[in-house]
Amino acid sequence: MTHNDPTDTLIILTGLAGAGKSEAINALEDLGYYCIDNLPVGLLNNFCDRILNGHLSLPCAVVIDNRDPNFLAEFPTGLLALRARDRLKTSLIFLEATDETLVRRFSETRRPHPLSREQSVLEGVLEERRGLEPIKQSADHILDTSGLTAHELRHAFLELSQGKDRIGLIVTLMSFGFKHGIPLEADLIFDVRFVTNPHFVPELSALTGLDDAVGTYLKNNYQTSEFLEKTSNYLHYLLPQYVEEGKSYLTIGIGCTGGRHRSVFLAEELHKRIKSITSATFRIKHRNILNT
C-alpha cells in the first residue's frame, strides 16, 4: 500500500465533549469510511492490525475520547506507536468549540457533561479542556465547530478525505442590531451606525437591506462606498493571515441599530467583494432581520 491509497488511511477523531464528534463520524461514514464511535484505547492497535492485514478494505475512522476512562493515560503512547507504523497513515483530528457553545449544546440536549456530574457544566468543560491540551497539541488538524452546520462539517471532512492538508477558513458574515445585543460568537465587529439610516425614510422603514429600494438609497451615500472599499481591502489582507495561522472558523459581525437595513445590505455587498478569496468559504447570516 501507498499513502495515496485510501485503504491505508486511519482518521482518529477526538476532542471536547459536545464539539460534534458524533456528527463528524457520521459525515465520514457518509463519505465511505468504515467508522467506529467510542473505540477503547486498548483496542486501537488490534483495529490497526486488521486494517494492515487486509480485513478492512475501506478507509477507516474512529472516535476515541474521554468516555474511555483510560484515554488520557494511554492514548498519547498509543498514538506514538501508530505513527511509527510505516504502512499506516494516521491523521489525528481534534474537534473543539468555544466554552459558550459547549455549555449551550449541553443545555439544549439536556445531556450531562461527562465531567460535570459533581460540578457545573462549565467547570466540566474547563477541566476537560485543560486535560486535553497535550493531545490537542499533537493533532494534525484542529477544527473549531462552534458555528458549523452539519453541511459545513461534512464539507470539511470531504476536503480531508481528498487529501487536502488544511481545512479552509469558514467565514460567517453576520448582520445584527446593537439594540438586540452584540453576537457573542463574533471575532470581528464593524459598527456601521455612522451610515445614514434608511429607517427614518418613511417609504423604506418597513423594508430590509435585502430590498432593492434600500440598496439604491444606501449606494447613493458616499459613506457606503468608502466603508466597502476600505473594509474589503482590509479583509483581503487579513483573511489569508488567519488561514496561514490555522484558524478554521471566523465570524465577522456587521452591526447597525436594529439589524434590518444598513448591516444587512453591507453584509451582502461585502460578501460580493471578498468571496473571491479562494482560501475561505463564506456564508451570510442576518440575525435580526425579522425584528422590528
**226-260 pLDDT, tens digit each:** 999 999 999 999 998 888 776 777 899 999 999 99
Per-residue cell: 216: 439604491
| DSSP codes of every residue in 95-108 | EE--HHHHHHHHHH
Per-residue cell: 196: 445614514
Mean pLDDT score, 67-73? 91
- What burial class does residue 243 get, using C-beta atoms within 10 Å of its C-beta: 0-12 exposed, 13-18 middle, 19+ buried? buried
- Rounded percentage of the chain residues whose pLDDT exceeds 70: 88
List the domains of the chain with CATH numbers: 6-167 (3.40.50.300), 170-286 (no CATH)
**pLDDT score for 219:** 94
- Rounded percentage of the chain residues whose pLDDT exceeds 90: 48
Mean pLDDT score, 16-43? 87
Q: How far apart are CA 52 and CA 46, in angstroms?
A: 10
Cell numbers 468516555 correspond to 67
Count CB neighbours of 40 within 10 A.
16
Mean pLDDT score, 215-233? 95
Give the phi and the psi of residue 278 in degrees, each rounded to 5.
-75, -20
pLDDT tops 60 at residue 40: yes
Write down the mean pLDDT value for the chain.
85
**Amino acid identity for residue 209 in this structure:** G
The count of residues in the chain is: 292
**pLDDT top residue among 187 and 184:** 187
